[in-house]
Amino acid sequence: MIEVGIVGGTGYTAGELMRLILHHPKVRIKEVVSSSHPGELVHLFHQDLLGEIDHVKFSRHLSDGIDVVFLCLGHGNARSCLTNINLNDQTKVIDLSQDFRSMKHAYFRNRSFIYGLPELQKELIKESMNIANPGCFATSILLALLPLAKHKLLKYDIHISAITGSTGSGKNPIDTTHFSWRNNNISAYKVFMHQHLKEVRQVLYQEQKNLCSDIYFVPYRGNFSRGILTTLYTPSFISLEETQEMYKEYYKDHPFVYLSEINIDMKQVINTNKCILYLMKEKQRIIIVSIIDNLIKGASGQAIQNMNLMFNIEETCGLILKSIRF
């Protein structure tokens, strides 16, 4: 069995990781670290795990014998965490923060982090010891655009709007995640300046060297707990049928991305590691709708997918999940 350590154990992404790992046939949770709540029972913070992890307590430090560590820390804390813990050189690291996603920040001591979007560079992930797990908005956006970038078809400005649930802001409550503010409400934020744009641009430039398109991204806070629905459009002068075939070809070997022939809604992906895409053509513009669960394909599920690849396990292992449709 693969022995897993989770650092930063009280947050949403750590809770989702534990839920998935508990039902993964080839992985075992050895340690869950919380510097703020050592010695306290894990299920008191993740009450959906009551009956599954009743006697496990948070540790203060990682012990020896860990095969892979998931860092579920706030942005900016992963680097300092790796400074303060002693990991064996053979211990693999999957970081769920943004600390190592940029190519210029992808190196730490003797560790080099690979951007962990399996649909972009699966073979490289298989050979890697350290993964920077992509951001949730970035995942939804990139999966919608990668086939166009591969064929050098992003030649004009790209307009994006996306709405996310309150879990995207983390577990610690702030004004804009408080129920009385979020309920029956919606707002735009970080217009054209969201931090995930950096990794989106980095990947698109990697795939299409001559990219000169401006990207205009408007994110919205939704009045629901989880999920992301993204709508993108850009000029395109090839037919809808050609575009659909291009997407089917690109994703034929990627088990979690699906192309729908009819319009989609977010409940289709909640509680799953799927991304579902829907393409439309209006005059000379291609319109793409992309849906994911921000906590699974946008975070913990994708981290498990990366772990499976790193350990030469079937990519879908532990991730065959049913959506919460009703």
- The catalytic site residues sit at 136
Q: What is the 3-state secondary structure (H, E, C) of 280-319?
A: EEECCEEEEEEEECCCHHHHHHHHHHHHHHHCCCCCCCCC
Q: What's the one-letter identity of residue 302?
A: Q
Angle between helices 136-150 and 118-126 (to 10 degrees): 90
Residue 176: partners with Cβ closer than 8 Å, 6 or more residues away? 169, 182, 187, 189, 221
CA dist 66 and 27 (Å) reads 11
3-state secondary structure of 145: helix
Residue type present at position 162:
A
Give the β-pairing of 228-235 and 2-7: unpaired
Are 308 and 314 in contact by the 8 Å Cβ rule? The answer is yes
Please, are residues 31 and 63 in contact by the beta-carbon 8 Å criterion? yes
- At residue 195, what is the residue type? Q
- Pairwise CA distance, residues 271 & 41, whole Å: 25
